[in-house]
C-alpha cells in the first residue's frame, strides 16, 4: 500500500487571530476510508477546503500522489467534494448534474451516457434521471451529489458532513450505502464529521482533531479503547474520569489514589512511575452494577466500590445508571438481555456495588 498517497506536510492556516489548523501533518493511504473527526470549529473543514483548493495554507504543503498541489486552483485538482448542503445545480436535471464534470472534460457523448447511466444505476436512481433536484428527497439528493463527484473518477473524494442534514433512519441507511459505494469504486474517501458514530462505523482510520491539531490518528477500536488524551476519551463516547496520583506500582498494575476515595487498581500499560498524576478513563459499559458483591470467582483483584443509585435512565437497548460512591459520580451502562429476568431490579437510592476489572481502565497521562 502506498503510504504517501495524500500528504499534509506541516500545514498551518490562520483566519485573522484564529489559528484554524496548526502544523498538521497527516498521510492518507490510497483507497482508504479516512475520517477527520472533531467538534465543530476544530479545523477539520478547513483542512478539507485546503485539499479542495478553496483555501490556501499559510505554511506547509499538500501532496497528492507525490505531486505538490498546494497552489493549484480547485478546477485543476482531481479531487471532488460532496458538500454538506449537496450544492446540486437547481437549474439542471439529475442527469445533467452528474454529467457536468464529464461534459466539462469534453468527453464524447456516448461515453458520457454510458458513465452517467452506470452511476445512476449504482445509486439506484435511474428512474429519477430527468427530475430536478428540488423534486428529490434528502437521501436522493445526497446520492446524486455523491454520483456527481464520483463520475469522473477523482483521486480523492471529500465528504463534508454529508449526512448531517438527514434524519436518523436515513442516516443509518446512507452509512451502509456509503460503505458499499466505497467498496465498489475503490477511491480514497476523506470524510469530515463531528459524529463519532459515523466515523467509527465507516473508517479504516480516524484522525481526531481538536483546536487545529491532530490529537490521535488510529483505527476506530484503538481510538475508543486506547484514547491518546483526555479530549479523545471524552469526545469519543461517554466515559468516567478518575483523576489521581499513582501511589504503588505492582508488576504490570498500579494503584491510583484519589482524595477521599479507595485506591483504584489499573493496568499500567504506559509503565508510569509512582508520583505520576493520571486521568483514568473507564467506559460506562465496562462498569457493572449489582445489589450483591461480585462473585468470588471474578478474583480478588478487581475494583469493587459500594455506592448508591442516584438516577436511572431507561433507553431500550440498555439502562444508564448514575451512581455516587464516596462523593464521586460514576455512570454505568447495562445492556438488557432478557426482559423481566434480568436479576432483581435496581431502583433509585438502592445500595449497590460498582465493579470493573483493572484491565478495563485506561490511563491517560497528565502533563505536569
Partner 1 sequence: MNDNPLRTRKAEWLVTAPSFVWLAVFFAVPAVIVLAFTFHGHDASGGVGDWSLSTWRELVDPDYPAIVWNTIRISFEVTLWSILLAVPCAYAIARMNKRWRTVVAGSIMLPFWTSFVVRVFAWKTMLHPDGWLQACYITFLRVREWLFGWLPAALQQALVWAGLASEGRVDVATSTILDSESAVVLVSVYTFLPFAIMPLYTAAEKFDFSLLEAARDLGAKNFYAFRKIFLPGIRQGLVSAVLMVFIPAIGSYVIPQMLGGTECVLIGNKIFMRAIQNRNIPHASALATLMAVSVLIPIGIAVWWKKRQDARGRKRLEEQTARLVMTGGGRAG
Residue from 121, 183, 250, 252 touching partner 1 (CB under 8 A): that is: 121
Residue from 91, 337, 347, 349 touching partner 1 (CB under 8 A): that is: 91
Residue from 73, 260, 275, 316 touching partner 1 (CB under 8 A): that is: 73
- For residues 360 and 200, what is the distance between their CA atoms, to the nearest angstrom? 20
Q: Which is nearer to partner 1, 77 or 283 (CB)?
A: 77
Cα angle at 119 between 113 and 122, to 5 degrees? 140
Q: Which stretch binds partner 1 (CB under 8 A): 56-64, 80-88, 278-286, 355-363?
A: 80-88
By CB under 8 A, residue 114 contacts partner 1: no
Closest of 195, 110, 108, 106 to residue 159, by C-alpha: 195
Q: Which is nearer to partner 1, 40 or 337 (CB)?
A: 40
Map the footprint of partner 1 across residues 282-341, applying CB under 8 A: none
Q: Which is nearer to partner 1, 41 or 74 (CB)?
A: 74
- Angstrom CA distances, 47 to 20, 137, 199, 216, stand at 9, 29, 17, 16
User: Which cell numbers in the block locate residue 129?
Assistant: 434521471
Return contacts of 292-296, CB within 8 angstroms, 24+ apart. 292/353, 293/353, 294/353, 294/355
By CB under 8 A, residue 155 contacts partner 1: no
Tell me how far, at minimum, the Cβ of 171 lies from partner 1, in Å.
22
Secondary structure letter of residue 294 according to DSSP? P
Question: Is residue 31 classed exposed, middle or buried when 0-12, 13-18 and 19+ CB atoms within 10 A define those classes?
Answer: middle
Q: Which is nearer to partner 1, 3 or 75 (CB)?
A: 75
Size of the site for partner 1 (CB under 8 A): 31
- For residues 73 and 52, what is the distance between their CA atoms, to the nearest angstrom? 8
Tell me how far, at minimum, the Cβ of 112 lies from partner 1, in Å.
13
By CB under 8 A, residue 109 contacts partner 1: no
Question: Could you tell me which residues come within 8 angstroms of residue 11 by beta carbon, excluding any fewer than 6 positions away?
Answer: 21, 23, 24, 25, 47, 50, 57, 59, 60, 61, 62
**Binding track over 233-272 against partner 1, x by CB under 8 A:** ----------------------------------------
By CB under 8 A, residue 104 contacts partner 1: yes
By CB under 8 A, residue 93 contacts partner 1: yes
Instruction: Write out the residues near partner 1 by the rule CB under 8 A.
Output: 52-54, 73-75, 79-81, 83, 85, 87-91, 93, 100-101, 104-105, 117, 120-121, 126-127, 129-130, 148-149, 152
Amino acid at each position: 500500500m502506498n503510504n504517501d498517497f495524500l500528504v499534509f506536510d506541516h500545514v498551518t492556516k490562520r483566519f485573522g487571530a484564529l489559528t484554524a489548523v496548526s502544523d498538521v501533518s497527516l498521510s492518507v493511504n490510497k483507497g482508504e476510508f479516512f475520517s477527520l473527526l472533531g467538534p465543530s470549529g476544530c479545523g477539520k473543514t478547513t483542512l478539507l477546503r485546503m485539499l479542495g483548493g478553496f483555501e490556501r495554507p499559510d505554511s506547509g504543503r499538500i501532496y497528492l500522489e507525490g505531486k505538490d498541489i498546494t497552489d493549484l486552483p480547485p478546477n485543476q485538482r482531481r479531487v471532488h467534494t460532496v458538500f454538506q448542503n449537496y450544492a446540486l445545480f437547481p437549474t439542471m436535471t439529475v442527469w445533467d448534474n452528474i454529467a457536468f464534470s464529464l461534459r466539462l472534460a469534453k468527453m464524447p457523448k456516448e461515453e458520457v451516457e454510458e458513465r452517467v447511466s452506470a452511476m445512476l444505476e449504482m445509486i439506484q436512481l435511474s428512474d429519477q434521471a430527468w427530475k430536478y433536484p428540488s423534486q428529490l428527497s434528502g437521501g436522493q439528493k445526497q446520492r446524486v451529489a455523491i454520483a456527481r463527484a464520483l463520475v469522473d473518477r477523482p483521486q480523492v473524494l471529500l465528504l463534508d458532513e454529508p449526512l448531517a442534514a438527514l434524519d436518523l433512519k436515513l442516516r443509518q441507511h446512507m452509512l451502509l450505502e456509503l460503505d458499499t459505494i466505497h467498496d465498489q469504486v475503490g477511491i480514497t474517501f476523506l470524510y469530515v464529521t463531528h459524529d463519532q458514530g459515523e466515523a467509527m462505523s465507516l473508517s479504516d482510520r480516524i484522525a481526531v482533531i481538536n483546536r487545529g491539531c491532530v490529537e490521535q490518528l488510529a483505527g476506530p477500536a484503538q481510538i475508543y479503547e486506547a484514547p491518546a488524551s483526555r479530549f479523545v476519551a471524552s469526545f469519543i463516547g461517554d466515559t468516567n474520569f478518575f483523576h489521581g496520583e499513582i501511589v504503588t506500582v505492582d508488576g504490570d498494575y498500579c494503584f491510583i489514589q484519589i482524595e477521599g476515595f479507595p485506591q483504584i487498581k489499573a493496568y499500567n500499560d504506559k509503565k508510569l512511575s509512582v508520583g505520576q498524576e493520571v486521568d483514568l478513563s473507564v467506559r460506562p459499559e465496562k462498569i457493572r452494577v449489582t445489589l450483591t458483591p461480585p462473585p468470588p470467582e471474578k478474583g480478588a483483584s478487581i475494583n469493587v466500590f459500594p455506592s448508591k443509585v442516584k438516577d436511572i435512565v431507561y433507553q431500550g437497548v440498555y439502562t444508564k445508571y448514575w451512581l455516587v460512591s464516596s462523593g464521586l459520580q460514576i455512570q454505568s451502562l447495562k445492556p438488557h438481555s432478557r426482559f423481566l429476568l434480568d436479576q432483581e431490579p435496581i431502583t433509585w437510592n438502592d445500595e449497590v456495588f460498582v465493579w470493573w476489572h483493572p484491565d478495563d481502565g485506561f490511563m491517560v497521562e497528565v502533563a505536569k
